[in-house]
């Protein structure tokens, strides 16, 4: 079975934009915050294969391990990391972007992704609800990624503020 996903989410973090710009400098560190990422393999410059942990529903005995590869582009002037799928890698084709914008008061993290998951082994009974379930699962992963990324950029800012107050 094939299932398409399309997700757009954003999160505003009360941290100056200049603090979050480093997210574009550490591609592997930024990607590494994605939940259920089991293994990230560098194929070549800015090309990575993702092996994710199984995603599914234990009660229905359904689990799918998403594997795909993508070529990344980093546009620091626009504050965007984007990716396109590399063909012939895994059981999914996923493309999208992660953007960082803001000002002296806050940063907006924006995540857009769309793609196709292939070879899902789903019992006939569950097929009608599978697309909504998969979309919901991936939406939750994206939201967790944004939350983790927001916390990662807020932590150094909070430590810096705490150090300035104690001086």
CATH number assigned to the domain comprising residue 79: 3.30.530.20
Q: Write the CB contacts of 6 (distance below 8 Å, at least 6 apart in sequence).
A: 113, 114, 135
User: Which pLDDT band holds residue 8 (cuts at 50, 70, 90)?
Assistant: very high
Q: What is the mean pLDDT of residues 131-135?
A: 91
Helix or strand holding residue 145 (H, E): helix 130-166
N-terminal to C-terminal alpha carbon distance within the chain: 60
Number of domain units in the chain: 1
Residue 156: predicted pLDDT: 66
Full-model pTM: 0.89
Q: What percent of the chain has pLDDT over 90?
A: 72
151 in Cβ contact with 11 (< 8 Å): no
Residue 166 structure tokens = 């104690």
The range of the structural domain enclosing residue 128 comes to: 3-166
Q: In what order do the strands lie in the sheet with 37-44?
A: 3-13, 107-117, 92-102, 80-85, 62-75, 47-57, 37-44
Confidence band, pLDDT 50/70/90 cuts, at residue 157: low
């Amino acid at each position: 079975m094939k299932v398409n996903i399309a997700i757009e989410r954003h999160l505003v973090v009360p941290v100056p934009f200049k603090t979050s710009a480093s997210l574009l400098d550490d591609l592997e560190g930024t990607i590494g915050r994605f939940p259920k990422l089991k293994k990230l393999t560098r194929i070549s410059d800015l090309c990575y294969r993702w092996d994710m942990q199984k995603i599914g529903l234990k009660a229905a005995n359904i689990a799918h391990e998403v594997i795909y590869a993508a070529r990344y582009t980093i546009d620091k002037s626009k504050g965007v990391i984007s990716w396109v799928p590399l063909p012939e890698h895994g059981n999914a084709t996923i493309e999208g972007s992660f953007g960082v914008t803001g000002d002296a008061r806050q940063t907006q993290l924006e995540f857009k992704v769309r793609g196709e998951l292939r070879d899902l082994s789903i019992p006939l009974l569950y097929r009608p609800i599978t697309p909504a379930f998969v979309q919901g699962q991936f939406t939750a992963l994206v939201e967790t990624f944004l939350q983790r990324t927001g916390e990662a950029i807020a932590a150094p800012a909070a430590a810096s503020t705490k150090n300035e107050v104690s001086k």
